[in-house]
Structure 1
Amino acid sequence: MAEKILAVDDEVDILQLIEMTLISDGFEVVTASNGIEALEKARIHMPDLILLDLMMPEMDGFEVIENLKQTPEMRNIPVVMLTARAQAHERIEGLSAGADDYITKPFELEELRLRIESILAHTRKTKYINPLIGALGGWFTEDGVEQFAEHLRTASAIQQHLLPQSEPQLAGFDISGLLESSMSISGDFYDFVPLGDNRLGIVIADVRGKGIPAALLMVMIRTSLRLVCREDISPSSVLKRVNDLLVIDTAPDFFATIVYGILDPKSMTFTYSNAGHCYPMLLRGEKEKIEELQTGGMILGCFGFAEFETETIELESGDKILFYTDGLTEAEFEAEGEFYGEERLEQVFKKNSNLPADELCRKIREDLFGFCGTNQQKDDITIVAIKASTSRD
């Protein structure tokens, strides 16, 4: 589709010259002979660029620029002023008002072409957003983008505050977690929830999607789970209650995978339930073989009839459990098509299993980033590690 230019001048000869030149160059040209007509045609045609004479009857070019900049759907249309050579103060005033460039009269046609091409080269990538600007309340203006960025920074800070601010202190265990978001806000989360009898709730979850929608659902799930898990019920019952709440309040395409478990230092057990999440990895003492905690269940938030199972494992000194989200194993190598994968994760887990939990998490992250190279992170990545340091009585 040809790019559209609105040419505005009260001198008919100049207007016809511009029109013929630009049409021959492949542009669609709309003309106006005064400021009022210019604003009307700008609203109707939404041109890609406006050539605007400053000195016109009824409404001059300065007023036209002012009106354009005050109208959300038109404020980003680039404006090139047509001005007399001697009117330097007017050029300055026009540029200050928001014009993008100027051409002095009389002008060379080649200069006109070059100025137009230079400006359009900068706007072609975003010109299809212009019809949305008004509907989105000006978010794509400079002020709007900055305001939106500030909202994202605030949301990110709030979300960071919802994550554990320190490692939990639980007798007989070394526990740590980390989260690397692919955007400023995340759909992944992990949590450590103090429970009665010195027990600790362990949570890792991955909400479908990324960005703002995923972050909102993440907050909803975290809040619901923290409220329900204090009722001293089994992990499967907790997930069932949270699932029922989500099914009522969210659409079916908003869902999450989650592991929720209870770590009990008195009995040295981990009792857990899994809603469609990656199986946690268990490494017993100094053994070489990694086990998967394969008790599973349906994803959270889609089906009211979903049921979940509870499983309990006994832990001994030296046992380690690794939880992760699929953003880790599905991260891609620089050469597309090769994924980080569970096998590589198992190798890195075993190699660094004697390190403290926080260092183990960092080593996995470092290996992942080394594997991915310059590939941009496409999904959120969360890791939680638990190490048992004492045995049962």
Structure 2
Amino acid sequence: MPKTLIIDDDPEFESHIREYFGGESGNAEHAFVFANDSAHALSLMAELDDIDIAVVSIDSKDIGGLSIFQKMKGKRLRVPRIAVTSSRDLPSIRTAMNQGAVDFLTKPVSMDDLLATLGKVFADCEIRRKAWRTEAQLSAIRREMDLAGSIQKRILPDQFPNSQDLEVFAQTTPAQEMGGDFYDFFDLDDGTIAIVVADVSGKGVPAAFYMAVVRTLFRATAPALKGPAACLSEVNRLLIGHNIPGMFVTAFYGILNPETWEFSFANGGHLPPYLVRGNGEIVAVEDGGGVVLGFEHGVPYQQDSLSIEKGDALFIYTDGLTEAFDLERNPFSEERLMDCLLENRSLSAHALTNNVFAFVSGHTDGAPQSDDITSFVIKRF
């Protein structure tokens, strides 16, 4: 029920409204409060918080027309205003409209005309208020998403192991504020380094939550298990035990021995990494196969190993990189990636990653990003 403030010093107008609507409080559909001078009007506007519409006389010198709202102190009354006048002076009506009136009434005002005007203005007001509420809710959601995306980025390591003969670097770019790709590395008790690159199905918030679960499971299980295959099997078992329908993850998990440069690994449905040799040879690491995690019980994972020689770089990535589309829906492709890796094979892990991402950005040329993109590089000097 809209509540309307009538600011008018015409007793006949007030009496007519009271008689028609049944007194001060109005009827079941409308409520009214009345002020017959500016002081009373300012007092009511300062006191009441439930006014929906104001009907203001623009003829009375004691009221001052719509300029009365400029006299309010310490409070702003955001309500639609209807001008009411005893004349048909178009310049005065135009002035009122320029001062913010959304409609006008001329006396004698028929109650049917008043009802129709109030109904239309109140409906418009409700639409605006709903839009304001929606905008406020969207802004709050946006702030929360930005914060969640910032927290997710902070979860991923940003300090990488670097030494005279080893450099590690990784980068991820989510398609939305939050993503399902992730990389991780951590030291194991025997001095080796555990490395994970994974791609959760889907994008956005669900994938980000699932990503956090998968990352936690890797960190919890890896120190107690011997070898990447055993770790993938255990993470897979735990994920299936969580019973999260429709979610799965591809993962490449490896363990680097920085003393011997042996890299043992297992692949849970992930794209094969590329081993870029210092002599210009490039090899897809297709061993260590297995199914995606969180999908099927009891399937064994294979474990293999390779040796990283001086000048070699191991490039681990997610499919969002090779499937990055340009404006004509042409993917970046594995061929372009291989060319880029060979061209930049002598660079550091950091520079190699930056150049690959720059090549992908140049290829997409402003096309919307359709999937998360992640790469992880191990470079031996």
TM-score by length of 2: 0.71
| 1:97 matches 2:97 | no
Cα deviation, 1:189-236, whole Å, max 9, x if unaligned, reads 111111133211111111222222222111111111011111142111
**Structure 1 segments (4+ residues) deviating >6 Å:** 6-11, 32-36, 60-63
Contact 1:172-1:265 at 8 Å conserved across structures = no
- How far off its partner does 1:54 sit? 7.5
- Shift of the alpha carbon at 1:353? 1.1
Q: Which of structures 1 and 2 has the bigger CA Rg?
A: 2
In structure 2, the partner of 1:240 is: 233
Whether 2:306 is the aligned partner of 1:326: answer no
How do 1:128-139 residues align onto structure 2 when only pairs under 5 Å count? Answer: none
Q: State the SS of the aligned residue for 1:331.
A: coil
The answer to whether the 8 Å contact 1:188/1:207 transfers is yes
Secondary structure in 1 matching 2:190:
helix
1:360 is aligned, of 342, 348, 352, to 352
> Residue 191 and residue 87 in structure 1: after superposition, are their counterparts in 2 closer, same or farther (change >3 A)?
same
Q: Is the 8 A contact 2:276 2:282 kept in 1?
A: yes
Residues 365-384 of structure 1 mapped to structure 2, 5 A cutoff: 365-384=357-376
Residues in 2 aligned to 1:167 and 1:36: alpha-carbon distance in whole angstroms: 72
Q: How is 1:67-106 mapped onto 2 (pairs within 5 angstroms)?
A: 67=50, 82-85=55-58, 86-88=64-66, 91=69, 96-99=76-79, 101-106=80-85
Which of 180, 191, 199 is 1:187 aligned to?
Answer: 180
Paired residue type of 2:363: F
Structure 2 matches for 1:13-92, cutoff 5 A?
Answer: 37-38=28-29, 66-67=49-50, 82-85=55-58, 86-88=64-66, 91=69
Q: 1:62 deviation in Å?
A: 6.6
Aligned-residue CA RMSD (Å): 3.9
Alignment correspondent of 2:18: none
Q: Does the Cα contact within 8 Å between 1:272 and 1:311 map onto a contact in 2?
A: yes
Q: Aligned partners of 1:304, 1:175: CA distance in 2, in Å?
A: 33
Structure 1 unpaired stretches of 5+: 1-5, 12-31, 40-51, 69-78
Q: Is 2:222–2:231's contact at 8 Å kept on the other side of the alignment? A: yes
8 A contact 1:283–1:321 mirrored in 2: yes
* Shift in alpha-carbon separation, 1:149–1:319, aligned structure 2, 3 A: same
Report if aligned partners of 1:91, 1:102 keep a CA contact under 8 Å in 2: no
Q: Which runs of 5+ in 2 are unaligned?
A: 7-20, 36-40, 59-63, 86-92, 105-119
The change in CA–CA distance for 1:91 and 1:195 in structure 2 (over 3 A counts) is same
Q: 1:112 to 1:375 in 2, by over 3 A?
A: farther
Classify 1:112/1:285 alpha carbon distance in 2 versus 1 (closer, same or farther; 3 Å): same
Count of residues in correspondence between the two structures: 323
**Structure 1 range deviating more: 162-171 or 238-247:** 162-171
Equivalent runs, 1:302-341 vs 2, <5 Å: 302-335=295-328, 337-341=329-333
- The residue number in structure 1 matching 2:9 is none
Aligned residue in 1 for 2:109: none
Q: Percent identity?
A: 27
**Alignment partner of 2:210 out of 212, 217, 228:** 217
Cα drift, residue 66 of structure 1: 4.1
